[in-house]
């Protein structure tokens, strides 16, 4: 349970609409690990968790080695005698963990300003961290929405570019077909002129059969070249849009 000195902080947090959860009460950790201990209680403000750790300050005094310590140190070169003795004091230290610090993260009893007089400042720090977290949450949300809009614009532009590229390719194919038709017509005309000079026989018969086939083919090519149509592009796949998206992914604004 939190100490009596922390109750005004819990009350102040509640008055500002924050919630407080009492933490576990495990065994005291070793002195060197005190700051990593589980929090005594947690204040939740604007969905931001602020852990509060309450530590008892320690006094230290010069250590007077015992005869045994002196003997052991003389016997073992690796042994070191402690320089100070530490004893619990009546002073406390509050440590805040979590959120974005503004003014401080630690407050302690000092001779001219007891911790009780600093609780209002601690409560204000908790409130500031909560407001900062909410501000960041809203900013992140706005950034995501803006990114979504940019991605949607990029996707629309990519679809337009894909359709344009498809039609350009189709136009080039139409032009190639037109040139092919023109060359084929000239070739067939030359063969036809040559066939008229041939006497009746197998060679002329074979050429006339070939001309019948080419006439059918030329008629189809001529009709296609004479009546070009604007093609309807197929629905592009994600991979089909990649060349037109730059650094964007076709699968979402945060996909890579």
pLDDT at 138: 95
Count of alpha carbons within 13 angstroms of residue 126, beta-carbon side: 32
Mean pLDDT of 226-248: 88
Please write the tens of the pLDDT for every residue from 152-177.
Answer: 999 999 999 999 999 999 888 888 88
* Angle at which helices 119-196 and 7-15 cross, to 10°: 50
pLDDT higher than 70, residue 30? no
Distance separating alpha carbons of residues 51 and 23, to the nearest angstrom? 9
Please give the residue that has the higher pLDDT: either 1 or 227. 227
Q: Please, what is the average pLDDT of the chain?
A: 87
pLDDT of res. 97:
93
State pLDDT tens for residues 187-215. Answer: 989 988 888 888 888 888 998 899 889 88
What CA–CA distance (Å, rounded) separates 6 from 115?
Answer: 10
pLDDT in tens, 57-102: 888 889 888 988 888 888 888 988 888 888 888 889 999 999 999 9
pLDDT confidence of residue 132: 94
pLDDT at 1: 44
Q: What is the per-residue pLDDT across 121-137, written as a single tens digit (0 to 9) for each?
A: 999 999 999 999 999 99
CA angle 21, 8, 41 (to 5 degrees): 20
Q: What is the DSSP letter of 97?
A: E
Q: Which residue has the higher pLDDT, 190 or 13?
A: 190
């Amino acid at each position: 349970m939190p100490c009596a000195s922390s109750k005004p902080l819990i009350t102040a947090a509640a008055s500002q609409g924050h919630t407080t959860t009492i933490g576990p009460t495990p065994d005291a950790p070793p002195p060197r690990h005190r700051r990593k201990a589980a929090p005594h209680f947690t204040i939740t403000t604007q969905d931001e968790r602020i852990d509060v750790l309450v530590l008892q300050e320690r006094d230290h005094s010069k250590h007077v080695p015992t005869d045994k310590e002196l003997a052991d140190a003389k016997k073992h070169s690796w042994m070191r005698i402690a320089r100070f003795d530490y004893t619990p004091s009546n002073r406390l230290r509050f440590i805040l963990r979590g959120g974005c610090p503004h003014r401080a993260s630690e407050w302690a009893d000092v001779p001219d300003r007891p911790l009780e007089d600093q609780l209002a400042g601690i409560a204000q720090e908790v409130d500031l961290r909560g407001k900062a977290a909410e501000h960041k949450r809203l900013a992140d949300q706005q950034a995501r929405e803006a990114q979504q809009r940019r991605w949607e614009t990029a996707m629309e532009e990519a679809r337009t570019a894909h359709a344009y590229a498809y039609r350009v390719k189709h136009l080039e194919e139409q032009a190639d077909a037109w040139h092919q038709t023109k060359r084929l017509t000239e070739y067939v005309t030359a063969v036809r002129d040559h066939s008229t000079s041939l006497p009746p026989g197998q060679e002329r018969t074979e050429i006339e059969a070939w001309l019948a086939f080419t006439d059918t083919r030329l008629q189809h090519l001529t009709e296609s070249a004479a009546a070009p149509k604007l093609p309807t592009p197929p629905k592009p796949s994600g991979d089909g849009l990649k060349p037109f998206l730059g650094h964007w992914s076709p699968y979402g604004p945060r996909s890579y």
